Structure 1
Amino acid sequence: MIRRIIVLLAVAVVVLGGSVSGVLAQPALNQQDKQFLAQAHRSNLAEIQAAKLAEQKTNNQSIRTIARRLVVDHTKLDASVQRVARTAGVPLPDRPGPKQADTLSRLSKLSGAAFDAAWLRAQVAGHRQSLVNIGKELQGGSSAEVKNLATTAKPIVQGHLEMLQQARSGTGGSPSPRSTPSGTHRGTPRSTPTGTHPATPTR
């Protein structure tokens, strides 16, 4: 009986040995990994709230389209962040950071062109900061899984930033002309001659 138990234990060690060593081989999360998870979660919460606010307040079709994209993308990104944090046992904040909350509060009090300009400015700044955070994680993180989150998020955040910068240059702080197709560079109507300022009537 004892010999049988020893044999079964030996088999279990052989069968489970690969998975156990694989788990042990995974590096523990360092402080940078934990900080990135918290920052990414806060940023995602802030971006989603700001995007939903834009969907409610803006009359600018380009901004409305970008806002819908931000909700979808940041919801997906945050689901991955929460999954990794939950597996690693890292607690996440339940709301955006103080500065992000202040920005959301200020945006909620604006309307029209003032809202559009402030919203785009805040989103450009927020996405630039997210790219800085991603760079720090890729350079200083120790967890392959957390770094993979950063690698996945980087082109998505960069794409958002490019869209926001294009919309910002197109609006110049004011809503784009309604006839301007979404994504048209600088919001210039196709009938406007090259080099003519869009706001200047052709004489």
Structure 2
Amino acid sequence: MKNIQVKWWLLLLLIISTTVSSCEKEDSGNAGRLTETDFMVAAANSDLFEIQTGQIASGKGTLSEVREFAQHLVMDHTTSSNELRILANQKKITLPDSLTEDNRAIRMRLSGQSGVAFDKDFIEVQITAHDEAISLYEQATREIQDPDIRNFATKTLPILQGHRDHAVMVKSKIDSF
């Protein structure tokens, strides 16, 4: 009799451990997935950064190409930001209205520069920022489940890629000086 009870307890423990193990595997599959909220907050941060640094560069840029590129950034990212805010309101997601600490530091650094040094740093910052944004938006097109948010990411991605290409072109112009 005792032997049968031990077998039942072992079977019960085996069932429980298998159930817990399969739940852990399911959870770990979603652990790295980009959530809708995380994407929208990161996208809003990106837009804010591009708008604010673009505003600085449209006034401080030495080369006309830098100033024109900056104006495109402000215009396109303002449009994107407005669309993102409308979508966030529909989805009841709160977006940030100020820069992250790291981005504030970069903005301050840029604000303190002038001349060709400013142009070079601004363009380098834009290439890096757009690399990060492109990576974020590509991940969103693959992982976001909400069709409205995924469509926003899909529609915005080519604009970001165009900005990066434009920044590389401006960088080659700056590097020739």
Q: Is TM (by shorter chain) over 0.5?
A: yes
**In the alignment, which of 135, 140, 150 is matched to residue 138 of structure 2?**
135
**In the alignment, which of 164, 171, 176 is matched to residue 167 of structure 2?**
164
Given the superposition, is the C-alpha separation of residues 91 and 160 from structure 1 closer, same or farther in structure 2, using an over 3 Å criterion? same
**Which residue number corresponds to residue 28 of structure 2?**
none
The residue type equivalent to 2:142 in the other structure is Q
The residue type equivalent to 1:32 in the other structure is T
Alignment of 1:92 with 2:95, yes or no, is yes
**In the alignment, which of 111, 127, 151 is matched to residue 114 of structure 2?**
111
The residue type equivalent to 2:59 in the other structure is Q
* Alignment TM-score, normalising by the size of structure 2: 0.79
Alignment of 1:151 with 2:154, yes or no, is yes
**Which residue number corresponds to residue 41 of structure 1?**
44
Deviation at 1:97, TM superposition (A): 1.6
The one-character-per-residue Cα deviations of 1:91-116 (angstroms, maximum 9, x if unpaired) are 11111222111110100011001100
- For these two proteins, the number of residue pairs brought into alignment is 145
Give, in whole Å, the separation in 2 of the partners of 1:173 and 1:74: 28
Equivalent position SS for 2:96: coil
**Structure 2 contact 57–122 (Cα < 8 Å) conserved:** yes
Give, in whole Å, the separation in 2 of the partners of 1:97 and 1:169: 29
Give, in whole Å, the separation in 2 of the partners of 1:65 and 1:140: 34
* Alignment TM-score, normalising by the size of structure 1: 0.69
Q: Identity of aligned pairs, percent?
A: 27
The residue type equivalent to 2:104 in the other structure is A
Deviation at 1:152, TM superposition (A): 0.9
Give, in whole Å, the separation in 2 of the partners of 1:94 and 1:69: 21
User: Which of the pair is proportionally richer in helix?
Assistant: 2
The residue type equivalent to 1:130 in the other structure is A
Structure 2 residues without counterparts, runs of 5 or longer: 1-32
The residue type equivalent to 1:105 in the other structure is M
**Structure 1 contact 114–173 (Cα < 8 Å) conserved:** no
Q: Please give the root-mean-square deviation of Cα atoms over the aligned residues, in Å.
A: 1.3
Equivalent position SS for 1:107: helix
The residue type equivalent to 1:69 in the other structure is H
Q: For 1:1-203, what aligned pairs fall within 5 Å after superposition? A: 32-172=35-175, 174=177
Give, in whole Å, the separation in 2 of the partners of 1:157 and 1:96: 19
**Structure 2 contact 34–143 (Cα < 8 Å) conserved:** no
Q: Runs of at least 4 residues of structure 1 off by over 3 A?
A: none
**Structure 1 contact 117–173 (Cα < 8 Å) conserved:** no
